[in-house]
Amino acid sequence: MRIDLHTHSNVSDGTQTPTELVYAAATAGLDVMALTDHDTTVGWGEAFAAADEAGVTLVPGIEISTRAPQGGAHLLAYRPDPENAALSDALTRVRSGRGDREPEMIRRLQGLGSAITTDDVRAVSGGTESTGRPHIADALVMIGEVADRNEAFARYLNPGQPAYVDRYAPPLTEAVGLVVAAGGVAVLAHPWGRNAGSGQPDEATFARLKAAGLAGIEVDHQDHSPQDRERLRAMAINLGLIITGSSDHHGLGKVGHELGCNITDPEQYERILAASTPSH
C-alpha cells in the first residue's frame, strides 16, 4: 500500500486543481493521499469527489502556518472537523494575514524596479483565498522577470531578501491544541526543513509538543538528509510519536517533490486513523 500524506493543490500554492491532483496520485500508484493545502479546507469537497471516481482513499488535511520560538513551523492536521469554530477562526485569521501582506510585497517589488501588478498576481493565483509568496513568484515568472519560483525566493522573497514581508501565524502549541480539540491528528511537517529558521527542534522540544497534543513528526521529507531522517526517526521512536513520510508535492511549483517520492508506512497511517475522533 502506497501512502503519501502531504500534497498541495491550486487551492493554495500547488499548480493542479484538486481533481487533477487526485488523478495524478492514482497514476503515480498511490492508494492513499492526503490533501494538505496551506491554511484552508476549501479543496476537500472536490478532492473527495475525485478520489471516489479515481479509486484513491483521501485523507482530508491542512498544513497550518504557525510560529515557534525558533521561527515559522508548519503543522499538518489530519481529519479535523472543518466546522470546528475555533480552528476555522484561526485559519481565517491566517488567511487574512496572507491577504494583507500581498500589496506590501507588490509595492516593495515595484520599488525595486519590477513591473509586477496586483492583476498579475490575480492571474496566477486564480482567486485562491490562501495567497502566498509562491503566487508572487509565479507572477514574476509570468512577466519574465525571473526564471522560476526558486529564483524569485532567492532574490526577493526569502527572509532577509528585500520583498519579504512577515504575516500572522498562531503559536505552534496553540495550533496543536486547536487541531486536537477539533478531533484531528497533529503532525509536525518537515521539522528540520529548509524553512525551520535558526534552531532545529530537539528531542526535548518534541517531548514538550507531545505533551501539548502533538501525535507525530514528518521524518521522510525531501528537506531532510538521510542522516537527519535517521536521527528524527530515533527520536520519534523514543517518544512514541507517529512517523510519516510524504512528498510535499506542489505540482510544477516545487521541483524534486514528485507524488510518492516519500511514503508513509501502513502501520503509521493506521495510527493516524485511530487517533482521529470519528465524531464528524
- Interacting residues with ligand AMP (CB under 6 A): 13, 38, 132-134, 149-150, 153, 250, 254
- Identity of the residue, 84 or 130, whose beta carbon is nearer to ligand AMP in the bound complex: 130
Closest chain position to Fe ion (CB): 74
Binding mask 3-22 toward Fe ion (x if CB under 5 A, else -) reads ----------x---------
Task: Read off the DSSP letter of residue 119.
Answer: H
- Identity of the residue, 252 or 274, whose beta carbon is nearer to ligand AMP in the bound complex: 252
Instruction: Count the neighbouring beta carbons within 10 Å of the beta carbon of residue 118.
Output: 11
Distance CA 279, CA 164 (A): 41
Q: How far apart are the first and last CA of the chain?
A: 26
Which among ligand AMP, Zn ion, Fe ion, none contacts residue 138 (Cβ within 5 to 8 A by kind)? Answer: none
- Identity of the residue, 79 or 149, whose beta carbon is nearer to ligand AMP in the bound complex: 149
Those residues whose C-beta lies under 8 Å from the C-beta of residue 193, and which sit 6 or more positions away, are 74, 221, 223, 224
- Identity of the residue, 127 or 278, whose beta carbon is nearer to ligand AMP in the bound complex: 127
- Indicate which single residue of 63, 102, 138, 145 sits in contact with Zn ion (rule: CB under 5 A): 63
- Identity of the residue, 203 or 223, whose beta carbon is nearer to Fe ion in the bound complex: 223
- Indicate which single residue of 13, 120, 138, 248 sits in contact with Zn ion (rule: CB under 5 A): 248
**Nearest distance in Å: CB 248, Fe ion:** 6
- Residue 218 interacting with Zn ion (CB under 5 A): no
Element (H, E) at 57: strand 57-68
Closest chain position to ligand AMP (CB): 132
Question: Could you tell me the sign of the dihedral formed by the alpha carbons of 58, 221, 12, 65, in that order?
Answer: positive
Give the cell for residue 198.
Answer: 535558526
- Indicate which single residue of 21, 58, 76, 189 sits in contact with Fe ion (rule: CB under 5 A): 189
- Residue 135 interacting with Fe ion (CB under 5 A): no
Distance CA 43, CA 232 (A): 31
- Identity of the residue, 74 or 271, whose beta carbon is nearer to Fe ion in the bound complex: 74
**Nearest distance in Å: CB 107, Zn ion:** 27
Instruction: Count the neighbouring beta carbons within 10 Å of the beta carbon of residue 257.
Output: 21
Candidate ranges 92-100, 108-116, 175-183, 184-192; the one touching Fe ion (CB under 5 A): 184-192
| Residue 104 C-beta-side C-alpha neighbours within 13 Å | 12
3-state helix, strand, coil in the chain (%, to 5): 45, 15, 40
Which among Zn ion, ligand AMP, Fe ion, none contacts residue 133 (Cβ within 5 to 8 A by kind)? Answer: ligand AMP
**Nearest distance in Å: CB 1, ligand AMP:** 27
The torsion angles phi and psi of 200, rounded to 5 degrees, stand at -85, 135
Give the cell for residue 264.
Answer: 508513509
Question: Which SS3 state, helix, strand or coil, does residue 161 take?
Answer: coil
Binding interface with Fe ion (CB under 5 A): 13, 74, 189
